[in-house]
């Protein structure tokens, strides 16, 4: 996403979908592969099979439920608020190499923790997470600049897209304390939507007073993708796993479907009756 292009060494990142041959060569020749913030190889699509076949040792650093058994070493904790928190812990406590966290590394880790914790507002952002954040600031992360670069740096098209979603596409179903935003491919194109432009949109739906469950359902070129959020103990991940080939955390999950957008939206609505007692509790 363009709002992350400022991050140190961003230019060194090789995107598999854009440089498949180069990426495949690097995977094949690697001696060690770190798998960060995912725990099943299907999450990285075609790249997953290349990683599976590679002779390299594989290290999983992740905080999602039900990891696949493909790794040689695992640093995994479902109570962590962010994979970046676990990377920090891996460097400091496993490798005992805190000196290796320079300003650039601290900035990247702080960004990962900030974004994955919803700017430290989720329940998983414990006092220990704040201590880690403070340590990263001491190591050079300029927290105010990072927040501004990520959250206060939207393009005009992205802001207009958000306004359109909230004024034209938001549907609130009070009977089930649920809010849904659905977006077509044509609408994404109209607002020149880039990767990452839909990030966070679902949280606006969840912020409505009384809403316990929110979904952003987006038609992509190859499939329909869902971002589902919930409050309290309502299991957003259960819905995604059971009905939409996905999963995630209790309050933040995702899924996908090969069905047309309108069918996916209707299917999501039909599921709500099953969870009505939990949604209106």
Is residue 216 over pLDDT 90?
yes
Q: What percent of the chain has pLDDT over 70?
A: 100
pLDDT at 95: 95
- The ranges assigned to domains in the chain are 2-151, 156-279
pLDDT digits (tens, 9 = 90+) for 54-89: 999 999 999 998 899 999 999 999 999 999 999 999
Q: Is residue 1 very low, low, confident or very high in pLDDT (cuts 50, 70, 90)?
A: confident
Q: What's the chain's length in residues?
A: 281
Q: In this predicted structure, what is the pLDDT of residue 134? A: 98
Residue 135 has pLDDT above 90, yes or no: yes
Starting at the earlier edge strand, list the strands of the sheet with 73-76. 32-36, 57-62, 73-76
pLDDT at 49: 96
Where does the pLDDT of residue 208 fall: very low under 50, low under 70, confident under 90, or very high at 90 and above?
very high
pTM for this predicted structure: 0.87
* Domain 2-151 identical in fold to domain 156-279: no
Question: What pLDDT does 179 receive?
Answer: 99
- Residue 94: per-residue pLDDT: 94
Query: Residue 42's closest CA among 66, 21, 19?
Result: 66
244 and 256 Cβ atoms separated by less than 8 Å: yes
pLDDT in tens, 146-188: 999 999 988 999 999 999 999 999 999 999 999 999 999 999 9
- pLDDT surpassing 90 at residue 194: no
Give pLDDT tens digits for 2-58. 889 999 999 999 999 999 999 999 999 999 999 999 999 998 999 999 999 999 999
Torsion, CA 250, CA 269, CA 172, CA 184, rounded to 10: 100
| Six-digit token string for 81 | 């608020």
| Residue from 217, 215, 264 nearest 243 by CA | 264
| CATH of segment(s) 156-279 | 3.10.310.30
pLDDT at position 234: 97
Per-residue pLDDT tens over the stretch 96-117: 999 999 999 999 999 999 999 9
- Tell me the CATH number of domain 2-151, given options 3.40.50.300, 3.40.50.720, 2.60.120.20, 3.90.1640.10: 3.90.1640.10
Q: Mean pLDDT, to the nearest integer, of 187-204?
A: 93
Provide the pLDDT for residue 89: 98
Q: Cα separation of 146 and 106, whole Å?
A: 11
């Amino acid at each position: 996403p363009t709002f992350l292009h400022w991050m140190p060494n961003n230019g060194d990142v090789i995107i598999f979908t854009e440089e498949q041959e180069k990426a495949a060569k690097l995977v094949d020749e690697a001696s060690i592969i770190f798998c960060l913030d995912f725990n099943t190889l299907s999450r990285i699509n075609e790249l997953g099979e290349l990683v599976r076949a590679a002779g390299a040792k594989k290290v999983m650093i992740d905080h999602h439920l039900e990891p696949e058994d493909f790794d040689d070493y695992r640093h995994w904790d479902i109570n962590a608020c962010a994979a970046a928190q676990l990377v920090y812990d891996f460097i400091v406590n496993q490798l005992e190499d805190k000196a290796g966290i320079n300003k650039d590394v601290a900035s990247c880790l702080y960004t990962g923790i900030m974004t994955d914790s919803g700017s430290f507002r989720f329940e998983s952002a414990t006092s220990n997470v704040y201590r880690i954040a403070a340590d990263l600031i001491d190591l050079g992360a300029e927290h105010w600049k990072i927040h501004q670069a990520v959250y206060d740096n939207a393009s005009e098209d992205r802001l207009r897209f958000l306004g359109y979603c909230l004024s034209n596409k938001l549907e609130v179903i009070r009977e089930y304390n649920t809010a849904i935003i659905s977006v077509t491919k044509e609408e994404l194109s109209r607002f020149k939507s880039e990767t990452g432009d839909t990030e966070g949109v679902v949280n606006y739906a969840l912020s409505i007073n009384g809403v316990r469950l929110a979904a952003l359902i987006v038609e992509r070129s190859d499939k329909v993708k869902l971002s589902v959020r919930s409050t309290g103990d309502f299991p957003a991940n259960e819905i995604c796993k059971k009905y939409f080939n996905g999963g995630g955390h209790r309050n933040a999950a995702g899924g996908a479907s090969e069905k047309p957008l309108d069918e996916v939206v209707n299917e999501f609505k039909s599921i709500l009756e099953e969870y009505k007692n939990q949604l209106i509790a």
